[in-house]
Structure 1
Amino acid sequence: MKKIIVLLGIILATTSCLDDKKEDKSNDQKITEPIEESLDFITVAIDGKDFETCEEKDCPRVQVSYLKAENKPAIAEKINSVNENNLIKIFSSPEEEKPSPDNLQDAVKNFVDDYFSFKKEFPESPAEYEAEVSQNIRFRNDSLIVVETSFYLFTGGAHGYGATRYQHFNAKTGEALAQADLISDKTAFTNYAEKKFRKKFNIPMNSPINSTGFFFENNTFTLPENMAFTNDSIHFVYNRYEAASYAEGELQLSLPKSEVKNWVNY
């Protein structure tokens, strides 16, 4: 009888050890399994005072705060490339004959250098340059990322120029999306948007779109260059001079997504 009890004890002990080893092995697998990182965004800052040329001179006020995608290289690189090019364009005048800068840092530096050149040529001028740029994620889900850019530039004259711009990205691939990618039926979408625009800004339906002071090209309503697709609405921004005078400021309009869902892709 004692031999049987001892034998049972040995069997139970051996089984327990085997179970422990299995559990340990399972735990090891859980610990060593790679965890897939999600696409993330950080904020990067550029200040005019950081440039060497500003160490001994009074630098123009320059504050740039922009987004940079991280963690998923294949997607992040596409987003960052398009985003940086969009930011460079803010500092690049279409009239300039010199080539566009290779990166945003150089674009901001050119802005600072232009200020010093201006001051050298017109030392008595009280005009001061100013540049302010900021970005945030306006909307994001599993299929869409919307980056909002707000900026203001002043290089002398009666006033500066500011605007809001939106850039849409495919969240799964990082590809930049144009307006044609977002809207499936532009004609129907535009007709609906015009009705909403006329209602908000008190333009009679039987009158020309410019009858109350707007200046759409060829007196024909057009969609704004900048729209932000969100979860439940589509937000329009007509920046200064796009459809009205500078004094009118930004013109904004929001369309419920539920009312236009048949004409959009996102």
Structure 2
Amino acid sequence: MYQKLVPIIAIFLLFTSCREEKTDSRVKQVKGDTEALSFYDEGLLPKDFEACKSGNCPKIRVNYLKFREDREAARAMNQYNEKILTKIFNNTEEDTNAENIKAAIEEFITDYQNFKNDFPSSEAGYEIEISQSVLSQTKDLLVLETDFYIFTGGAHGYGAKRFANFDVTSGELLEKDDLFSDLEAFKDFAEKEFRKKYKIPEGENINAKGFFFENDKFALPENIAVTKNRVILVYNRYEAASYAEGELKLSIPKNKVAQWLIY
């Protein structure tokens, strides 16, 4: 009897081991100059929503990061990241009050189904696509990059990139003022780099090449990432130029602006 049980137990242990290995393989680590942060990819598709099982559903392809909450900073990052993700849906006609990404998508599905009920013959569809990755980590700073595309009808949808700079120790989401000791000095330097890249002579109107900075004055973009070696500025569509111009990007070596950096 014992001899018969041995191979059965071995098979069970092998199966259990493989299953645990598969589960653990979802967990990745960000290794920088500090203790590694563990995270995993979270995915959402139409099949994950009850409303899509019994009715029309928009295209949904959402992948984002969740940090393993083994410390307070990771919990804070997850909370901030949920807010970042839900704000994407403020690019639709109505802003969302959803508390998390899944609730925001559920609202998106409801809006789409209401539209299809009102206009059943319309071929227009809704679409949401989100992807997220770790752009950089140092001992003090973690940067997430989020790319998204959202479509709710019309001539075209809207796609954009968002950076999020996190203090590794506290998990706090940092604003531009938190990244630079002298934001005005950095802005002056960035304007010179912008003029150089887009061939706008000093003293000439900043909008001379077709840009549309407010009041004809250079402004920093909403999105700034401070990585290990560079400071990256990204102007999304409509922020400083027309939709057709696409994304405008300025990448500055970190050593050129180190005097104004806090991180």
| Contact map agreement 1:43 1:65 (CA 8 A) in 2 | yes
| 1:74-133 deviations in Å (ceiling 9; x for gaps) | 111110000001111112358637x60122111111111111100110111110101000
| 1:114-173 deviations in Å (ceiling 9; x for gaps) | 111001101111101010001000001211000111000000000000100001111111
Question: Equivalents in 2 of 1:262, 1:171: separation in Å?
Answer: 21
| Contact map agreement 1:39 1:71 (CA 8 A) in 2 | no
Which of residues 134, 137, 148 in structure 2 aligns to 1:140? 137
- Normalising by the residue count of structure 2, what TM-score does the alignment of the two structures yield? 0.83
| 1:210-258 deviations in Å (ceiling 9; x for gaps) | 0111000010001111011111111110000000000000000101101
Q: Show the counterpart of 1:48.
A: 46
Matched, 1:265 2:251: no
Task: Give the superposed CA RMSD.
Answer: 1.5
The correspondence of residues 25-104 of structure 1 with structure 2, limited to 5 A, is 38-92=36-90, 96=94, 100-104=97-101
| 1:49-98 deviations in Å (ceiling 9; x for gaps) | 3211211334211011011111433111110000001111112358637x
The correspondence of residues 190-201 of structure 1 with structure 2, limited to 5 A, is 190-201=187-198
Question: Equivalents in 2 of 1:245, 1:92: separation in Å?
Answer: 20
Question: Equivalents in 2 of 1:141, 1:72: separation in Å?
Answer: 19
Paired residues, number: 229
Structure 1: gaps (5+ residues): 1-36
Which of residues 203, 206, 211 in structure 1 aligns to 2:203? 206
Question: Equivalents in 2 of 1:48, 1:244: separation in Å?
Answer: 34
Q: Show the counterpart of 1:164.
A: 161
State which structure, 1 or 2, has the greater radius of gyration over its C-alpha atoms.
Answer: 1
| Contact map agreement 2:69 2:75 (CA 8 A) in 1 | no
Superposition deviation, residue 177 in structure 1? 0.8
For 1:205, give the aligned amino acid: E
Structure 2: gaps (5+ residues): 1-34
- Normalising by the residue count of structure 1, what TM-score does the alignment of the two structures yield? 0.83
| 1:159-205 deviations in Å (ceiling 9; x for gaps) | 00010000111111111111101011112111111111011111111
Question: The residue matched to 2:195 in structure 1 has which SS?
Answer: helix
Question: The residue matched to 2:129 in structure 1 has which SS?
Answer: strand
Q: Show the counterpart of 2:220.
A: 223
Q: Show the counterpart of 1:20.
A: none
| Contact map agreement 1:154 1:161 (CA 8 A) in 2 | yes
Question: Equivalents in 1 of 2:239, 2:145: separation in Å?
Answer: 18
Question: Equivalents in 1 of 2:92, 2:41: separation in Å?
Answer: 28
Question: The residue matched to 2:161 in structure 1 has which SS?
Answer: strand
Question: Equivalents in 2 of 1:230, 1:103: separation in Å?
Answer: 27
